[in-house]
């Protein structure tokens, strides 16, 4: 919650500076925004390469139907959440008059210094390398190479936690100072309020859908299961971390009919790979940003499907720090949707403003996923027992 307060302070201070401060102070903030934005662009391919390669290699060590069913259900849940968010965004946001006013990108005030830090590789190159080497490591059992990806992941996560996240309030302040000097800041704030409210409502709609399906499949009252997961939801609101909430999530899910062994396996895995709440936020906010800024065309539903699938893939290995999901998603947004620096800044601001709610939706949704995993695991065990009994009967007859 401290980070959210810092971001809100950054927004307020940025607005005040943009409206009332001398031009040279505004230009200083704009200069920081430009330089920091260049650094974020530089680090994006490394986030994708090391996190996805390490994540894929780590999952590859495990085998069996249990891992497959957990990953499959989590991925499908994340993708469907993105589809729902996009359909809601394109049909509801245009009805809101505030978002119909496009914001003018660029400012009459220029930064004192522009320094472009070129990425070492493109986003798609980093993504393909991550999958090729991640899968390859599992096939050749290359522990040495796996250690390199793991250590690279730790370094990038350290950069995010110690550099990017602490400096985000200043970056956000620069964005809003620029908007304040342009006269577009109040229109932006109107859109922010509406979009954030839509995001939180959609989180709860998706949780209801998830638990309704889980309840129907397991013949349980979905509201009873969801009620038992509420401690995990409110804990995640405070921690802003799925991983940090694992102990509470485990305790909550064990109060349902899920077997303890399934819970102990599935909850830690789900905390890493099931990010339906984050997917809703990213998809809805990205659509809103494309409507707000000129030069960004909103894709059709068919065109958006590959984008949602790619976002679902990068969510699997998103950094486990506040804002990690949006950092991992920036590569897809820039390469597939053409996000500019201004769009990236607005996207980060929107996402970070609700990060605790997105994390809470992710964590609470894990309960529905693991309930379904437990259901399918019981069916598999029942089929195996039935097959053994049939074989014994056949052997007796012979």
Structure confidence by residue, pLDDT tens digits, 143-196: 888 888 889 888 988 888 788 878 888 888 888 888 777 776 677 777 778 888
Taken as a whole, the chain contains a residue count of 398
Q: Taking Cα atoms as reference points, which of 152, 118, 204 lies closest to residue 48?
A: 152
Q: Give the C-alpha separation, 166 to 182, whole Å.
A: 26
Q: How confident is the model at residue 397 (pLDDT cuts 50, 70, 90)?
A: very low
23-51: string of b/e by CB count within 10 Å (b at 16+)? eeebbbbbbbbbbbbbbbbebbbbbbbbb
Which of 45-49, 232-236, 347-351, 368-372 tops mean pLDDT?
368-372
The stretch 233-237 carries a mean pLDDT of 83
pLDDT score, position 65: 67
Distances (CA, A) of 346 to 82, 123, 144, 199, 255: 19, 20, 40, 15, 40
For 118, how many CA atoms within 13 A lie in the half-sphere containing its CB?
Answer: 2
Sequence-separated contacts (24+) of 94-97 with Cβ below 8 Å? 94/291, 96/191, 96/194
Q: Give the C-alpha separation, 277 to 298, whole Å.
A: 22
Q: What is the mean pLDDT of the chain?
A: 80
Report the alpha-carbon angle 319-320-326, nearest 5.
Answer: 50
The stretch 340-368 carries a mean pLDDT of 85
| In the predicted structure, residue 211 carries a pLDDT above the cut 90 | yes
The stretch 308-324 carries a mean pLDDT of 75
**What's CA 34's distance to the chain center, in Å?**
24
pLDDT score, position 385: 36
pTM, two decimals, is 0.76
- 2-393 carries CATH number 3.40.50: no
Q: Give the C-alpha separation, 299 to 308, whole Å.
A: 11
What count of other Cβ atoms lies within 10 Å of the Cβ of residue 100? 13
Q: Give the C-alpha separation, 388 to 335, whole Å.
A: 52
Contact predicate 339/347, CB 8 Å = yes
| In the predicted structure, residue 67 carries a pLDDT above the cut 80 | no
Q: Taking Cα atoms as reference points, which of 371, 379, 384 lies closest to residue 262?
A: 371
| In the predicted structure, residue 56 carries a pLDDT above the cut 80 | no
Q: At what angle do helices 2-20 and 355-397 cross, to 10 degrees?
A: 140
Contact predicate 15/176, CB 8 Å = yes
**What's CA 166's distance to the chain center, in Å?**
19
pLDDT score, position 340: 82
Q: Give the C-alpha separation, 272 to 96, whole Å.
A: 35
């Amino acid at each position: 919650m401290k980070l959210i307060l810092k971001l809100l302070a950054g927004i307020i201070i940025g607005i005040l500076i943009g409206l009332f401060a001398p031009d040279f102070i505004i230009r200083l903030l704009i200069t920081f925004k430009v330089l920091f934005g260049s650094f974020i662009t530089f680090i994006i391919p490394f986030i994708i390469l090391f996190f996805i390669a390490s994540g894929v290699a780590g999952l590859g060590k495990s085998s069996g139907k249990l891992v497959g069913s957990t990953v499959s259900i989590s991925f499908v849940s994340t993708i469907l959440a993105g589809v729902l968010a996009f359909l809601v965004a394109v049909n509801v946001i245009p009805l809101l008059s505030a978002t119909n006013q496009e914001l003018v990108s660029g400012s009459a005030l220029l930064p004192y210094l522009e320094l472009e830090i070129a990425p070492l590789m493109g986003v798609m190159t980093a993504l393909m390398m991550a999958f090729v080497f991640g899968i390859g490591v599992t096939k050749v059992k290359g522990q040495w190479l796996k250690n390199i990806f793991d250590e690279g992941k730790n370094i990038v996560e350290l950069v995010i936690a110690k550099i990017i996240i602490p400096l985000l309030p200043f970056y956000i302040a620069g964005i809003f100072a620029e908007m304040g000097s342009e006269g577009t800041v109040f229109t932006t704030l109107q859109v922010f309020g509406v979009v954030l409210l839509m995001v939180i409502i959609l989180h709860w709609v998706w949780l209801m859908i998830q638990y309704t399906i889980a309840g129907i499949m397991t013949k349980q009252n979905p509201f009873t299961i969801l009620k038992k997961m509420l401690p995990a939801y409110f804990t995640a609101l405070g921690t802003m971390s799925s991983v940090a909430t694992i102990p509470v999530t485990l305790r909550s899910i064990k109060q349902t009919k899920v077997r303890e062994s399934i819970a102990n396996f599935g909850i830690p895995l789900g905390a890493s790979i099931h990010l339906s709440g984050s997917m809703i936020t990213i998809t809805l906010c990205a659509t809103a940003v494309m409507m707000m800024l000129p030069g960004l065309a909103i894709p059709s539903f068919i065109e958006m499907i590959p984008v949602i699938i790619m976002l679902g893939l990068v969510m699997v290995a998103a950094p486990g720090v506040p804002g990690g999901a949006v950092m991992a998603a920036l590569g897809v947004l820039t390469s597939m949707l053409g996000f500019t620096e201004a769009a990236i800044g607005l996207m980060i601001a929107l996402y970070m403003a609700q990060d605790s709610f997105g994390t809470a939706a992710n964590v609470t949704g894990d309960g529905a996923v693991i309930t379904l995993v437990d259901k399918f695991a019981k069916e598999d065990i029942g089929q195996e027992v039935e097959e053994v009994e049939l074989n014994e009967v056949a052997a007796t007859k012979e």
